[in-house]
């Protein structure tokens, strides 16, 4: 099939003529096959319309100035491009200096072709889909939904170009925060790590950060995700995440800032360095895990341990200074001297855990103030941002390609894709 278009400027009518198609035959098919026929017709029309758009970006001047040099027109040649509607062959001019060397193509520059042979719309779709699915899955998806036949290697190449822009530019662009549906009372920051498989390095810890906005009643309004590939010292993650949190705090200056963590030393050192005025909260779930371990060390597994655990779990939630009471109780049982040396050492570790975190465990007060007391948002983000995409069976990731996909996935999950792509297109202009 072949399509042609004509435009009536007076009536503002666009006419698309498709040759080689028998609409009557399509009409006689069963409905499903008819729909497939319609899809094929739309593909042909889409190809011709896109080709027309590209031809209108053609430049045929004999010479032109570009980056301070004069380029001269060469003989017209055919360029091959991939679109969301299939492949195109478009005649265009290349230009070259009198000294030879690299050629430029004004048509490709004007069409914002920064993604190899893929047009911007196709590149965006590929990048968006690769944020959630493997190249093989995207290959099947595009074949089924759009009738496109693109290899997984081609998809990885195009997606890599899109992802590299995200890696290099996102921290500079300061992507807009989705407008909340209610006034923001609390901003909760959380950090955690998740192991991911690297080529030649086995499993290493990638970092995940979340910035959650909460309204007056404690309902979460939105969550932004930040991720970083494994790195010794976590310096890139610390710098980028801290900068983004500070941007968010500046955007909502009247909101209170809460930092949630699971007790890891690095978390509190990071929060203390970058957010000394924040309210620090130990994740309640992790606190109760240590409470349960302490109860079984004192009483052994059984009803007495469970009763002790349930009692103090409730008191941590409901009583002001409940953590101080728990610490005194644990110390009292430790001093009774009825534990073996090995059990005593383990209980000492639990007591030390609560002693170090006691200022972050005022859960009764936090709840009255409407603050979140759990880091479940961040832990879920580790699974959604990292585990579900990077830890499938048989996967191993190179650092560069992994960083590209990780950034695209964070943008997508944070509902920031449209803002990201607007910046990509502005950069390509």
Q: pLDDT tens digits, residue range 294-310?
A: 999 999 999 999 999 99
Residue 194 shares a structural domain with residue 248: yes
In a domain, 348, yes or no: yes
Last residue of a domain, one of 353, 368, 383: 368
Ranges of the chain with pLDDT below 50: none
Residue 401 shares a structural domain with residue 385: yes
- Do 212 and 220 touch, CB atoms closer than 8 A? yes
Question: What is the number of domains present in the chain?
Answer: 3
The whole-number pLDDT of residue 348 equals 96
The whole-number pLDDT of residue 356 equals 94
The whole-number pLDDT of residue 390 equals 96
CA 271 to CA 189: how far, in whole Å?
9
In a domain, 220, yes or no: yes
Residue 263 shares a structural domain with residue 362: no
In a domain, 312, yes or no: yes
In a domain, 234, yes or no: yes
Residue 213 shares a structural domain with residue 124: no
In a domain, 6, yes or no: no
Residue 149 shares a structural domain with residue 124: yes
- Do 355 and 327 touch, CB atoms closer than 8 A? yes
Q: Which domain, by its residues, includes 357? A: 284-368
In a domain, 203, yes or no: yes
The whole-number pLDDT of residue 241 equals 96
Q: Could you give the C-alpha distances from 131 to 21, 84, 160, 207, in angstroms and in order?
A: 37, 18, 11, 17
The whole-number pLDDT of residue 171 equals 83
What angle separates helix 417-428 from helix 399-413, to the nearest 10 degrees? 120
Residue 169 shares a structural domain with residue 187: no
Residue 121 shares a structural domain with residue 263: no
Residue 270 shares a structural domain with residue 193: yes
Residue 275 shares a structural domain with residue 315: no
In a domain, 96, yes or no: no
In a domain, 262, yes or no: yes
Residue 126 shares a structural domain with residue 167: yes
- Do 231 and 428 touch, CB atoms closer than 8 A? no
Q: Specify the CATH number for the domain of residue 390.
A: 3.30.420
Residue 241 shares a structural domain with residue 345: no
pLDDT digits (tens, 9 = 90+) for 74-102: 999 999 999 999 999 999 999 999 999 99
The whole-number pLDDT of residue 78 equals 96
Give the contacts of 363 (CB within 8 A, at least 6 positions apart): 284, 316, 317, 322, 323, 373
Q: Which of 197, 232, 238 is nearest to 399 (CA)?
A: 197
Give the contacts of 388 (CB within 8 A, at least 6 positions apart): none
The whole-number pLDDT of residue 428 equals 72
Q: 130-140 burial by CB neighbour count: b if 16+ within 10 A, else e? A: bbeebbeebbe
CA 58 to CA 39: how far, in whole Å?
29
Residue 254 shares a structural domain with residue 278: yes
pLDDT digits (tens, 9 = 90+) for 210-268: 999 999 988 999 999 999 999 999 999 999 999 999 999 999 999 999 999 988 899 99
CA 371 to CA 187: how far, in whole Å?
9
């Amino acid at each position: 099939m072949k399509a042609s278009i004509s435009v009536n400027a007076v009536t503002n009518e666009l006419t698309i003529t498709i040759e080689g198609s028998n609409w009557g035959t399509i009409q006689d098919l069963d409905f499903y096959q008819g729909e497939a026929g319609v899809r094929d017709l739309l593909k042909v029309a889409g190809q011709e319309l896109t080709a027309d758009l590209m031809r209108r970006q053609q430049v045929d001047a004999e010479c032109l100035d570009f980056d301070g040099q004069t380029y001269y027109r060469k003989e017209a040649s055919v360029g091959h491009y991939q679109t969301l509607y299939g492949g195109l062959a478009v005649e265009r001019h290349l230009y070259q200096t009198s000294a030879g060397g690299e050629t430029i193509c004004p048509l490709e520059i004007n069409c914002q072709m920064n993604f190899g042979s893929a047009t911007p719309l196709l590149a965006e779709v590929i990048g968006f889909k690769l944020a959630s699915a493997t190249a093989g899955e995207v290959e099947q998806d595009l074949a089924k939904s759009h009738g496109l036949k693109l290899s997984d290697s081609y998809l990885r190449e195009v997606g890599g170009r899109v992802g590299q822009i995200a890696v290099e530019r996102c921290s500079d662009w300061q992507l807009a925060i989705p407008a909340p549906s209610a006034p923001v009372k609390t901003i909760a920051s959380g950090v955690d790590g998740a192991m991911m498989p690297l080529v030649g390095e086995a499993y290493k810890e990638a970092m995940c950060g979340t910035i959650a906005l909460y309204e007056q009643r404690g309902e979460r309004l939105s969550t932004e995700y930040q991720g970083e590939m494994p790195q010794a010292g976590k310096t890139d993650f610390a710098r980028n995440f801290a900068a983004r949190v500070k941007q968010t705090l500046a955007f909502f200056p009247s909101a209170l800032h809460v930092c949630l963590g699971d007790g890891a030393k690095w978390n509190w050192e990071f929060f203390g360095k970058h957010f000394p005025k924040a309210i620090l909260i130990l994740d309640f779930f992790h606190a109760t895990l240590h409470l349960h371990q302490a109860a079984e060390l004192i009483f052994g597994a059984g009803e007495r341990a469970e009763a002790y655990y349930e009692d103090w779990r409730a008191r941590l939630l409901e009583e002001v200074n409940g953590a101080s009471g728990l610490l005194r109780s644990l110390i009292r049982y430790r001093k009774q001297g009825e534990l073996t040396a090995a059990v005593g050492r383990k209980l000492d570790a639990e007591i030390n855990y609560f002693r170090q975190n006691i200022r972050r465990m005022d859960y009764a007060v936090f709840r009255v103030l409407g603050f979140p007391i759990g880091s479940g948002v961040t832990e879920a983000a580790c699974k959604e941002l990292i585990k579900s995409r990077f830890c499938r069976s048989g996967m191993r990731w190179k650092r560069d390609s992994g960083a590209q996909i990780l950034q695209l996935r964070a943008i997508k999950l944070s509902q920031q894709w449209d803002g990201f792509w607007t910046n990509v297109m502005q950069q390509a202009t």
